[in-house]
């Protein structure tokens, strides 16, 4: 037994947090720094440049977790990106992008999935906490069947493998982990209306507790080829899907915090929505988008929220945007009710 566990351990794909060992600082000179013996990484943006880092390893499927504390104060115009990407013209990519805002105004979490060079699958969310006050965990689960985006272990988005109906799915190209902090004030905040205030520079984001339970790729081979690994404990991600509680959480996020969903943007797809939007049950469709359904599967079943907001929200169906006041008013209530209902 001991021998066996030593053997399994030697094949372990998990890599704990040592930024020095796992990442290269790729741009921004001294603006990217690894501190505290590899435990903490900081990125800085000033008027001259942003900064970024990249994983030394390449991965083909896995679960990647990173704790991030985003740029505090007036972060309008800044974007902090955390993503997986392959190389080359027909690259695959799985994105988290955090769009900054004026002090007190909410960040937007922008997500996207690229396959063979084509993205256009954006979903955006507000968060149910202030991401600049503390570290929070942002995770990507990537297996053969689906991609799950999680925030503090709460699923905010699922992109299913729907190759059976002709939707490409990233599964052949190994990816590295990337992160960067840069100026994007031509689009990031309120669509580019709010510009970066350079008098507040330098802007800083913080990273810690990186973890990868993943198959690494080197010399054209995955280290997961070994069957041994299939029995290892840390391989939950390989078949991870949403259970009932996961689906309830996802619905809660999509109902109260979703800002934009490409699947609901009919103006953008006059020829018909992308195929994955027609089939997916996990993704809100225009029929229900923005309108809380008072069904028995609601995470806030019987709560005041369902009845209170089913009326006022209907008016916003056309623009698929929640007004700021609505989000602020409901966010705290929704959080309270949600956590009580778990
Ligand atoms: C910034 O705040 C404004 C006003 O509350 C809001 O409309 C917007 O969605 C927020 N986020 C970004 C990234 O623009």
Per-residue pLDDT of the chain (342 residues; tens, 9 = 90+): 444 444 443 344 556 679 999 999 999 999 999 999 999 999 999 999 999 999 999 999 999 999 999 999 999 999 999 999 999 999 999 999 999 999 999 999 999 999 999 999 999 999 999 999 999 999 999 999 999 999 999 999 999 999 999 999 999 999 999 999 999 999 999 999 999 999 999 999 999 999 999 999 998 999 887 655 555 557 899 999 999 999 999 999 999 999 999 999 999 999 899 999 986 554 444 333 433 333 323 333 323 233 223 323 332 333 334 445 555 555 666 666 666 665
pLDDT at 225: 76
pLDDT at 140: 98
User: How does DSSP classify residue 194?
Assistant: S
**Distance from Cα 324 to the centre of ligand 1, integer Å:** 7
Our answer to whether residue 97 is catalytic in this structure is yes
Q: Whose CA is nearest to atom 9 of ligand 1?
A: 190
Rounded alpha-carbon distances, angstroms, from residue 25 to 94, 203, 207: 20, 17, 13
Burial of 197 (0-12, 13-18, 19+ CB in 10 A): middle
Please choose, from the candidates 124, 78, 162, the residue with its C-alpha nearest in 3D space to the C-alpha of residue 254: 124
The architecture of the domain spanning 12-222 is Sandwich (2.60)
Instruction: Give the active site residue among 22, 58, 93, 162.
Output: 93
Please give the number of the atom of ligand 1 that sits closest to the Cα of 100. Answer: 13
**Distance from Cα 71 to the centre of ligand 1, integer Å:** 15
pLDDT at 233: 58
User: How does DSSP classify residue 115?
Assistant: B
**Distance from Cα 135 to the centre of ligand 1, integer Å:** 21
Our answer to whether residue 87 is catalytic in this structure is no
Q: Compute the Cα dihedral for 105, 327, 150, 152 and give only its sign.
A: positive
Radius of gyration of the chain (CA): 20
The full set of domain ranges for the chain reads 12-222, 244-341
Burial of 40 (0-12, 13-18, 19+ CB in 10 A): middle
pLDDT at 278: 85
Ligand 1 touching residue 189 (CB < 6 A): yes
pTM equals 0.81
Q: What is the b/e burial string over 2-19, where b = at least 16 CB atoms within 10 angstroms of the residue's CB?
A: eeeeeebeeeebebebeb
Please choose, from the candidates 134, 65, 154, the residue with its C-alpha nearest in 3D space to the C-alpha of residue 339: 154
What is the rounded distance in angstroms from the CA atom of residue 233 to the CA atom of residue 241? 16
pLDDT at 91: 97
């Amino acid at each position: 037994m001991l021998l066996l566990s030593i053997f399994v351990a030697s094949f372990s794909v998990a890599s704990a947090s040592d930024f020095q060992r796992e990442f290269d600082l790729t741009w921004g000179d001294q603006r990217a720094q690894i501190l505290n013996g590899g435990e903490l990484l900081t990125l800085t943006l000033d008027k001259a440049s942003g900064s970024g880092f990249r994983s030394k390893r390449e991965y083909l499927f896995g679960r990647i977790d990173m704790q991030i504390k985003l740029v505090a104060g007036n972060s309008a115009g800044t974007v902090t990106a955390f993503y997986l990407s392959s190389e080359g013209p027909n690259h695959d990519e799985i994105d988290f992008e955090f769009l900054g805002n004026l002090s007190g105004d909410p960040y937007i979490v922008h997500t996207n999935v690229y396959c063979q060079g084509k993205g256009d699958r954006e979903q955006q969310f507000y968060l149910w906490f202030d991401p600049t006050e503390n570290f929070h965990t942002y995770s990507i689960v990537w297996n053969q069947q689906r991609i799950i985006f999680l925030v503090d272990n709460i699923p905010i988005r699922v992109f299913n493998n729907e190759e059976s109906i002709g939707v490409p799915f990233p599964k052949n190209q190994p990816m590295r982990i990337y992160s960067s902090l840069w100026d994007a004030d031509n689009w990031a905040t309120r669509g580019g209306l709010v510009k970066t205030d350079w008098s507040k520079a330098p802007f800083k984001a913080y990273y810690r507790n990186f973890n990868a339970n993943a198959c690494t790729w080197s010399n054209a081979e995955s280290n997961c080829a070994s069957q041994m690994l299939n029995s290892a404990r840390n391989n939950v991600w390989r078949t991870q899907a949403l259970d009932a509680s996961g689906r309830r959480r996802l619905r809660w996020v999509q109902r109260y915090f979703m800002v934009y969903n490409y699947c609901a943007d009919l103006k953008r797809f006059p020829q018909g929505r992308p195929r994955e939007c027609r089939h997916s049950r996990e993704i809100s469709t225009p029929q229900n988008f923005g309108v809380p359904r008072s069904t028995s599967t609601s995470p806030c079943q019987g709560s005041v929220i369902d009845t209170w907001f089913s009326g006022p929200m209907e008016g916003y169906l056309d623009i698929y945007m929640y007004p700021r006041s609505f989000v602020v008013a409901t966010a705290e209530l929704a959080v309270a009710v949600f956590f009580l209902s778990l």
